A and B are shown apart, each in its own frame.
Chain A
Amino acid sequence: MFGKEAVKLITELDMHEDIRPFNEQVMRQVFEEMQTLYEANLVDSNAIQNEGNNALLPSVHFRHTALLRNKRCVLAYLYHRIRRLRQMRWELGSILPTEITANLLNAEMQWFQNYNKSLATYMRSIGDDHGLNLTVNMNPPKTLYVEVKCLSDFGKLELDDGEVITLKKNTYHLLPRTTCEPLIRQGILEHHNT
């Protein structure tokens, strides 16, 4: 069945919400299938032109549709992977954890870097002087300070007012919300509800 391999890519997206290792093997099989289909079509369409053998038309049509479908599935696979990557940029910041980068192609890393660059340029262009960081203030603020528990030894953290505190594992702090928001998303601090 043509297009069967390509559908595997889509199923993979559907089954796993995270970014899986890039499926190069299936991808290569899809390219091979496309090549085969393409060559078969070339032969048949030559036959149609030279010998007027119109009986071949339906199969040429069919292969062409299979080719388009393969292309579409491959691009959908790529597109959804980078959409997930984009989501991570907003959640984790511009540096990705190694568990993720290990699953990426070089080209995907390149895409990510370019996206970072465009986003940074855009955020700098907002307003007149300093720009505006859109990746903080993600949720409507309820309180100025939040109570947080520190999950790993982070070290020194400088607050907006210049005060420096040390974040050690299993300590509790009352910190300005804007300061700890990125740290909470990176899993260094945990929101502690009393």
Chain B
Amino acid sequence: MEESLEDSLLDDGDGVGELTAQTALQEIENAWMNERFAPEILPHQSDLVDCMLQQIAHMEKNIKRLDKKDLRALVHRMELDRIKYVISSYLRARLEKIERYTIHILSEEANRSPEEAYLTPGELRFAKEYLANLETFFKTVALQHMPPNFQRFEANKFIIKPNLQAHVFLRANQRIPGIVLPGMLNEEIDFEEGSQHIIQYSAVAHLVKSGVVQLI
């Protein structure tokens, strides 16, 4: 019942681009799970986020038209809260990674062209400000009181990198042959469609980014 309500509510939107509201919701949920489970930051999905936020604004307007005591209003509002949670949680997960791996992420990002950037302009700005803020703080409190040779903010020594060797659970969205297992010579495995696996993240990082596997 909830599903169908959600459909009808979401379908009120004008269907931004080719994305229907229903698939956008599904995709943002997938992106959210991937981001939460992947050790490194993934390419941003700001189109999806923008699209969902528009939908939310639209839905809120629709709900306002309903009577306060109407059961439908309650159910719809609940659904809205859920979607907002997913979006906030997704963006929070990214922000946490940006803060933790700031230097690493910024240096990787510097090698990417604007089209393949992982961070949104807003996130990039946040990352740069965060690093600058940290540097100023270190300098005022400690570095300037140290002997001359030790005053530098050596960014390369403070790098924290995500652990790409961490293991992740995943489900294959389609058949994928020939996945090379790290640490094994000439050993390949195939993923069947819909099958689930535990595997080192580094072996499937490119598959997560292209969307053929889903982290769970």
0/1 string, A52-78, CB within 8 A of B gives 1: 000000000000000110010011001
A75 and B154 CA atoms in complex are apart in Å by: 11
A137 near B88: Cβ-Cβ < 8 Å? yes
Q: Which of B74-82, B174-182, B184-192, B197-205 contacts A (4 or more CB under 8 A)?
A: B74-82
A128 touches B50 (CB 8 A): yes
Q: Beta-carbon contacts of B124-159 to A below 8 Å, as 1s and 0s? A: 011001100110111011100111111000000010
Q: A134-B92, A144-B77 are in contact. Are A110 and B53 (CB under 8 A)?
A: no
Within 8 A of B (CB), among A23-44: 27, 31, 34-35, 37-38
Contacts of A95 in B (CB 8 A): none
The answer to whether B138 and A75 have CB atoms under 8 Å apart is yes
Are B150 and A115 in touch, CB under 8 angstroms? no
B89 in the interface, Cβ–Cβ < 8 Å? yes
Of the candidates B125, B130, B141, the one whose C-beta lies within 8 Å of that of A78 is B141
For the complex, would chain B's binding face be called helix, strand, loop or mixed by DSSP majority?
A: helix
B88 near A34 with CB under 8 A, answer: no
Neighbour of A134 across the interface among B95, B125, B129, CB < 8 A: B95
Asked if A121 and B125 sit within 8 Å, CB to CB, the answer is: yes
- Name the interface size band of chain A: 35 or more
Is B122 in the interface zone, CB < 8 Å from A?
A: yes
Contact between A105 and B81, CB atoms less than 8 A apart = no
B123 CB contacts on chain A under 8 angstroms:
122
Q: How far is the CA of A27 from the CA of B144 in the complex (A)?
A: 13
A175 CA to B149 CA, complexed, in Å:
59
Report the Cα distance A134→B88, complex, angstroms: 5
Out of A111, A125, A128, name the residue touching B122 (CB < 8 Å).
Answer: A125
> Are B137 and A78 in contact, CB atoms less than 8 angstroms apart?
yes
For A127, the chain B residues whose CB sits under 8 A away are 49-50, 53-54
Instruction: Tell me whether B112 is interfacial, beta carbon within 8 Å.
Output: no
- The answer to whether B122 touches A161, judged by C-beta atoms less than 8 angstroms apart, is no
Contacts of B129 in A (CB 8 A): 114, 117-118, 121
Task: Determine chain A's interface SS by DSSP, over half rule.
Answer: helix
Contact A114 B133 (CB under 8 A): yes
The complex places the Cα of A127 from the Cα of B123 at a distance, in Å, of 12
How many residues of B are in contact with the other chain, CB < 8 A? Answer: 43
- A191 interface residue, CB < 8 Å from B? no
Using Cβ atoms and an 8 Å threshold, which residues of chain B touch A178?
81
B-facing residues in A160-186 (Cβ within 8 Å): 161, 177-178
Report the separation of the CA atoms of residues A157 and B123 in the bound assembly, to the nearest whole angstrom. Answer: 33
CB-contact partner of A137 in B50, B85, B142, B158, under 8 A: B85
Q: Which residue of A lies closest to B91 (CB)?
A: A134
- Give the CA-CA distance A139 to B47 in the complex, in Å: 24
A82 at the interface (CB under 8 A from B): yes
| A128 with B53: CB separation less than 8 A | yes
Q: Is the CB of B133 within 8 A of A111?
A: yes
Q: How far is the CA of A79 from the CA of B100 in the complex (A)?
A: 11
The answer to whether the Cβ of B84 comes within 8 Å of any Cβ in the partner chain is: yes
- Interface flag for A102 (CB, 8 Å): no
Q: Which of A38, A82, A161 contacts B149 (CB 8 A)?
A: A38
| Extra pairs beyond A38-B150, A114-B133 (16, CB < 8 Å) | A27-B142, A31-B146, A37-B147, A71-B142, A71-B146, A74-B142, A82-B134, A105-B141, A118-B129, A121-B122, A122-B126, A126-B122, A134-B95, A141-B82, A143-B78, A161-B68
B residues adjacent to A (C-beta < 8 A): 49-50, 53-54, 57, 68, 74, 77-78, 81-82, 84-85, 87-89, 91-92, 95, 99, 120-123, 125-126, 129-130, 133-134, 136-138, 140-142, 145-150, 158
Could you write out 10 A-B pairs with CB less than 8 Å apart?
A27-B142, A34-B146, A37-B147, A74-B142, A108-B141, A122-B123, A125-B125, A126-B53, A126-B91, A132-B88
